[in-house]
Amino acid sequence: MAAAAASLHATAAVSKSRSAAIPQVATSVRVAAASRGPGSARARGGLVVARAAAVKDEAADTNSGGHEVLMFEALREAMIEEMTLDPTVCMIGEDVGDYGGSYKVSKGLSEMFGDLRVLDTPIAENSFTGMGVGAAMKGLRPVVEGMNMGFLLLAYNQISNNCGMLHYTSGGQFKIPIVIRGPGGVGRQLGAEHSQRLESYFQSIPGLQMVACSTPYNAKGLLKAAIRSENPVVVFEHVLLYNMKEKIPDEDYICCLEEAEMVRPGSQVTILTYSRMRYHVMQAVKTLVNKGYDPEVIDIRSLKPFDLHTIGNSVKKTHRVLIVEECMRTGGIGASLRSAIIDNFWDELDAPPMCLSSQDVPTPYAAPLEDATVVQPPQIVAAIEEICR
Amino acid sequence: MAAASFTAAKFLAPALPARSGAGGDRAPSSFPASSAMRPLRRARPAHRLLAVSSDVLAGNKAAPAAAAAQPAVTREEALELYEDMVLGRNFEDMCAQMYYRGKMFGFVHLYNGQEAVSTGFIKLLNQPDCVVSTYRDHVHALSKGVPARSVMAELFGKATGCCRGQGGSMHMFSEPHNVLGGFAFIGEGIPVATGAAFAAKYRHEVLKQSSPDGLDVTIAFFGDGTANNGQFFECLNMAQLWKLPIIFVVENNLWAIGMSHLRATSDPEIWKKGPAFGMPGVHVDGMDVLKVREVAKEAIDRARRGEGPTLVEAETYRFRGHSLADPDELRRPDEKSHYAARDPITQLKKYIIEQNLASEAELKSIEKRIDDVVEEAVEFADASPLPPRSQLLENVFADPKGFGIGPDGKYRCEDPKFTQGTAQV
């Protein structure tokens, strides 16, 4: 089923990346504790969806019911459901209330929940993020929206020093169950400052979890899981993915924050990606499959921590890795991921792990330059051909 | 001691005469005149050294003058204030000793001289009220009720410290006492305090959890240097916008390390910045615990009633350097002696005796008791163990699943040894 997004390059041949049999989940507020059984990293309490089976056909047919949503609607559903379930969940950000959110994620929410629970803030990212931290310390579960992720650079002080650290420096006395979310990534000629990838800047902050959503399904699931998590979680959305369409389950579900998602199983080479680059990868995969290659595509989803189990199993199978990311080359998620793979799976590798990243350049405004900034499908095809030689 | 020789006098017009009659004044007071940093330009009643009630702000009636004849406090209250200030002073003196003996490390910022502000405000708070401070936070924690032994052990870096030794001098936290830190970067705590106040309003309005006392109050303490920081202004705006139950207390001790307040600030009268945001701004003599307490009462009551924030500028002074590493060479001796003569503890003692609230002997016995408390705190801290290696990663995440899934498919936190440092991502 193709995404209806007019604004996307890649026609997203989005795999139905979820298990055929989705367990009926109870709508309890807190995620059940991780099961301690050996091996099964998957069955972590009744609320967590079993790990994605890979094949797109399977899930689509067995799914009776479900409803189609665009990505921003999926996020909105997540917010509504969690705010209904738990009155301590609130939203803080610019234009989230009356305006409904600049990407419509909170459309109608302030009418539903009141303008204290959906708080329109003045333009003061550092302070309202810090306010979210203080509120979290005192028992609320705020969801702080950065209108554009780049604006949260102004909140770096609070995100690094307070979100990440206070649970630790207080000796575990205060928890910070805050969610920080917003759109980032390179858009459509938005200019350098609106085209930033903060995941690389935040990844070193201890005490912070980071996830990147890429489909309406995982967007809703990850946002819900992030809200329910006791940890501070940064949820990276992408400016160009808000109109992605997909059918998602009617029943309550969450996605595990720490797990990666199998998009397309394969045997020849592992492609690790996240967010919008997933679609560039899948477009390249169409070409590659026609040329006779069999890549395995994993959407890592959890940018911090990495799901080394899913990634490792794949590397052990294919022995070749390509990372495709939108971060800049220097110090990006790919750089860390490459290190982690080398550290953990060196013996499994038949080729050096390759990483395709954006150019180290402030994203130019001009269209051809902007296109050249991010990784495009032909580059991915060429890289796979290189790795598999 | 003429106020004229004080640095501020070069900048501002001569001091106003000491106010008379208005509440909280002590008739036989022989305090030196408060510094020349009073509001001078237009003597609007709302900005004299009286707390501002909402009536005054609305201009409806003049602030009622309290009867000057009776003392501002009862005997019990006075002794409580005295004991708290003596605790703060003795504790900090002990910190200096311990630091120079190599039991305490890093940056330690002592509060000597400023006790009236901490005591004056915090002793009016209840348990659910929150306090947020800066790196000069030991005494705020003590005033709020954190046991001296917990603070001392934290300073020694022991596992029995209030933050398990993980915070240190600049990060005092106590959940049971609602001390929300302890922050090393100035200004950083102000948004956190604003968030705590937001949560108090939220509990009342959304969760419908109300207390007969009114809203839970949050007090943010910070210094003159912080009053030039963006977070300060951003939070003044938001607090007033949403009428949050918060009090912004500027402990203006005139120096930010070696930067004089007057050299750093275009308009040094910080209290004036309150009305710029629509909230009352009050200046108070922060060396006088009873005056501070009077202002605090008003500000706290306003906040509890839901009338919103107050900005209080307390003129105060730190007798020691910025930190124990500061040679404190820039401050002039006459400035230091001016404020030494206004030592809040000496003044309160004098007041208590003159008002016959207690005898010299009783005060001495309080001092002795506090000495014992502080000694015991040191003994406790000394005897306490250092944190074990296994504590290293325990509190990085409230939910340790945040360390992720290892190559073997298990969550790293399922390894019993993970907190020692095996949980490398």
Complex confidence, ipTM? 0.84
Q: Which among B414, B46, B37 is positioned nearest to B250, based on CA atoms?
A: B37
Q: Does B167 touch chain A (CB under 8 A)?
A: yes
Q: Does B246 touch chain A (CB under 8 A)?
A: no
- Rounded distance between C-alpha atoms, residue A248 and residue A216, angstroms: 7
Rounded to the nearest integer, the mean pLDDT of chain A is 87
Comparing alpha-carbon positions, the chain B residue that sits nearest to A205 is: B396
Per the model's pLDDT, the better-predicted residue between A33 and B275 turns out to be: B275
> pLDDT for A51-75, tens place per residue?
443 333 334 444 568 999 999 999 9
Q: Does A102 touch chain B (CB under 8 A)?
A: no
- Rounded distance between C-alpha atoms, residue A374 and residue B172, angstroms: 45
Strands B255-256 and B259-260: antiparallel
Contact check, Cβ <8 Å, A128/B171: no
Query: For the residues of B168-233, what is the DSSP string, one character each?
Result: -TT--EETTTTEE---SSTTTHHHHHHHHHHHHHHHHHTS----TT-SPPEEEEEETTGGGSHHHH
- Rounded distance between C-alpha atoms, residue B273 and residue A253, angstroms: 49
Residues of B with Cβ-Cβ distance to A307 under 8 angstroms: 404-405
> pLDDT for A323-374, tens place per residue?
999 999 999 999 999 999 999 999 999 999 999 999 999 999 999 999 999 9
pLDDT per position in chain B (425 positions), as tens?
333 333 333 333 333 333 333 333 333 333 333 444 443 343 333 333 333 334 334 443 343 444 344 567 999 999 999 999 999 999 999 999 999 999 999 999 999 999 999 999 999 999 999 999 999 999 999 999 999 999 999 999 999 999 999 999 999 999 999 999 899 999 999 999 999 999 999 999 999 998 999 999 999 999 999 999 999 999 999 999 999 999 999 999 999 999 999 999 999 999 999 999 999 999 999 999 999 999 999 999 999 999 999 999 999 999 999 999 999 999 999 999 999 999 999 999 999 999 999 999 999 999 999 999 999 999 999 999 999 999 999 999 999 999 999 999 999 999 988 888 865 64
Q: Which of B173, B234, B395 sits opposite A126 (nearest CB)?
A: B234
Predicted local confidence at residue A64, as pLDDT: 66
Helix (H, G, I), strand (E, B) or coil at B90: helix
- Rounded distance between C-alpha atoms, residue B192 and residue B203, angstroms: 16
Q: Which of B175, B202, B241 sits opposite A173 (nearest CB)?
A: B175
Q: Is the pLDDT of residue A205 over 60?
A: yes
Comparing alpha-carbon positions, the chain A residue that sits nearest to B186 is: A157
Which tokens belong to A40? 């099964």
Helix (H, G, I), strand (E, B) or coil at A157: helix
Inter-axis angle of helices B289-305 and B115-122, nearest 10 = 40
Helix (H, G, I), strand (E, B) or coil at B277: coil
Predicted local confidence at residue B420, as pLDDT: 87
Q: Does B201 touch chain A (CB under 8 A)?
A: yes
SS3 content of chain B, % helix, strand, coil (to 5): 40, 10, 50
Q: Which among B300, B297, B336 is positioned nearest to B318, based on CA atoms?
A: B336
Contact check, Cβ <8 Å, A127/B411: no
How far apart are the CA of A353 and the nearest CA of chain B, in angstroms? 17
Q: Which among A386, A375, A186, A188 is positioned nearest to A282, based on CA atoms?
A: A375
The pTM assigned to this predicted structure is: 0.85
| H-helix segments, B242-276 | 261-264, 273-276
Residues of A with Cβ-Cβ distance to B220 under 8 angstroms: none
When computed from its CA atoms, the radius of gyration of chain A, rounded to whole angstroms, is 20
Q: Which of A44, A134, A175 sits opposite B195 (nearest CB)?
A: A134
Predicted local confidence at residue B70, as pLDDT: 56
A358 - beta bridge partners?
Answer: A328
Residues of B with Cβ-Cβ distance to A166 under 8 angstroms: 173, 181
B24 Cβ neighbours under 8 A, 6+ residues apart = B66, B72, B290, B291, B294
Comparing alpha-carbon positions, the chain B residue that sits nearest to A337 is: B425
